[in-house]
């Protein structure tokens, strides 16, 4: 699973993409949800948990916490940016 990082998430994680190994990382076999992914990433990178608005897209569509994801999905973490 590839996670594309935008804005401040790139700075927090320290690269522009993140490859997630396999679903066993989550301790759950096949299906996972966006919520579980967020919790997992939050443990790895506690700074992410501080973001009050963080959009997650799965295969280029905005995803809710209960959206199901699998290993072939492309995920994007999109925080709002404010610069003008």
Q: Which residue stretch of 3-11, 25-33, 36-44, 65-73 sits at the interface with other proteins (rule: CB under 8 A)?
A: 3-11
Q: Give the separation between CA 31 and CA 17, rounded to whole angstroms.
A: 22
Which residue, 26 or 74, is less far from other proteins as judged by CB?
74
* Helix locations, 2-77, DSSP H: 8-13, 34-44
Question: Which of 66/81 has CB closer to other proteins?
Answer: 81
What is the separation of C-alpha 69 from the centre of its chain, rounded to a whole number of angstroms? 11
Tokens 């948990």 identify what position?
A: 49
- Decide: helix, strand or coil at residue 81: coil
Phi (first) and psi of residue 11, to 5 degrees: -70, -40
Task: State which of residues 43, 46, 62, 68 lies at the interface with other proteins (CB under 8 A).
Answer: 62
| 14 lies in the site for other proteins, by CB under 8 A | no
Q: Kindly tell me which of 25 and 46 has the beta carbon lying closer to other proteins.
A: 46
What residue ranges bind other proteins (CB under 8 A)?
Answer: 4, 6-8, 10, 16, 50-53, 55, 57, 60-62, 76, 78-84
């Amino acid at each position: 699973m590839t996670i594309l990082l935008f804005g401040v998430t790139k700075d927090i994680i320290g690269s522009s993409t993140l490859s997630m190994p396999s679903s066993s990382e989550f301790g759950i076999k096949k299906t996972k949800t966006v919520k579980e992914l967020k919790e997992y990433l939050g443990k790895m990178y506690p700074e992410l948990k501080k973001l009050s608005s963080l959009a997650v897209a799965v295969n280029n569509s905005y995803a809710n916490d209960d959206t199901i994801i699998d290993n072939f999905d492309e995920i994007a973490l999109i925080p709002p940016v404010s610069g003008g």
